[in-house]
Structure 1
Amino acid sequence: MIDVSVENFEAEVVEASMQVPVLVDFWAPWCGPCKTLGPVLERLEVEYQGRFKLAKIDSDQEQQLAGMFGIRSIPTCVLMVNGQPVDGFMGAQPEGQLRAFLDKHVPALDALPGQDQEQAAQPALAEEDAEGALARQQQAVAADPENDEARFDYVKQLLQLGREDDAKVAFAPVIAKAAGSRRLGALKTWLDAIDFVAVSHGGTGAMAELEQKIAANRRDFEARYARARCLLAQQRWTDAMDELLEILMRDKGWNDEAARKTYIAILEIIEPPKVKVAEGHIPPQDPLVASYRRRLSSVVLS
């Protein structure tokens, strides 16, 4: 168990969750249910033998972090995997429910990293999981072709796996809806960026040329926007948004607000699935998405 603050959040939560699930427990000294839940979580962390890490955040002392996650009541626990929240719960849960929650996400005891043979097997396991998820998403679309949410997840997964031609085929039935749908419009922005790179800016040499143009003229918005689209096509989300912010800081309305619209599309793409919480509660926000939403607001409203 480790106490987390703004200063060590990146290392102890975001980076650590790339190696092992991190359960973030938002609590406060005055909170009675927190005093019940905390010791149980600490005991389970020991019992699970390194299969997850417990990080505790005092929501009174670390209001910035609580705000990043949209915490509205405590205790609230958020499970971080690969830098993103994937699940969570509110309130002091019984130990049996805590075990069931953890068992859904933490690796099996014999699947911990550390041995060469096990480490070699991890990429294959990740690939199998991705393909399994893709198969489920494909079945969901086949069962309900009008379910745009299911289609969004399916096309997004295809693009993340580099199966661009398959993604275009899966997206074709709803392409006419893209103009009126924020999520489908985001997918079209991604697909258009991939096509743009293939036709106009393929290869590392073209990216270097764009960077040279930007270095020579920081107001070369065409070059900046082209670079942002190249980064989007490469799934370098934060780099692409950083480049778009450079345009917005200099000219918010450039090219019919193309930079702002593309920035919002990226936020839609990287927004993780919503965590299910009790009725009336607000689910915790993804800290990366929340941070980049605030950065956009500060620039656009300035």
Structure 2
Amino acid sequence: MQSEFIVEMNQQNFQQILEGSMNTPVVVYFWAPMSQESADLVPQIQQLAQQYAGAFTLALLNCEQEQQIAGQFGIQALPTIALFSQGQAIDGLGGPQPIQAIEAMLQKHLPSQDELNLQKALSLMSEQKYSEALVLFTSLPEELQNKGEVKLAKADCLLATGQFSDAEAVLAQIPLEYQDNYYKGLMAKLELHAQAANSPEIQALEAQLASDAQNTKIANELALQYHEVNRSDEALELLWAFISKDLGALDGEMKKTFMDILSALGQDNSTAKQYRRQLYSILY
């Protein structure tokens, strides 16, 4: 398996690899083709390295090919696993091991998978990949999602992806100690959206619909206006009130508007997911 996190250790690079542990922990896996148990574990430990996605470097050392290095390390059993950090061996395992034992050893010294996902989400945010970051934030356990700094980052992604109602709900739960300049900046974005999203045209359509609640043409136009100013949640709610009772409302135009908005919001939008499920329940 080729990966930037996995290297083959040999006489030429082993010193450089161990020096690399000054920056990133290195797991050296000593194995040999003649040791079936050590060979069988190679794909599993490679997969583990992929899952950790750079939290450590996996260095594979074939002891048959690199007997001198194996001798320098005093290897007596295969497989042997050694964890290096800051240039020093800090933990290890000798003899046949289930992959769970290796995972347990790593968990003592490395960030958890959830913490790695959080770091990755923050990195994606810095690259302005807000939708991808939001998927990771949403996948975090409740304990992490409830942290103030995580809520702020999630609200930032929600604002960037036009999910203003959800962002408002998250910002309403920010603890007082986290209501700093970052928080104030997000609240300012939310306020600017609220001002832009309540245009005279929208107000006029809302007034017309209030006086003629069953007018499908006005309702459809208002939903389109809502969507234009990123009030898509309200647009879908309004359209659903009509098409849930009559899929052919406004000669099918309302259903088309509804589907267009769902498509525009994409597959990862939580509100769109909810309405897709509701639509499928009446279609099939």
Above 0.5 in TM-score?
Answer: no
TM-score under structure 2 normalisation? 0.38
TM-score under structure 1 normalisation? 0.35
Higher relative CO (CA 8 A, sep ≥ 6), structure 1 or 2?
Answer: 1
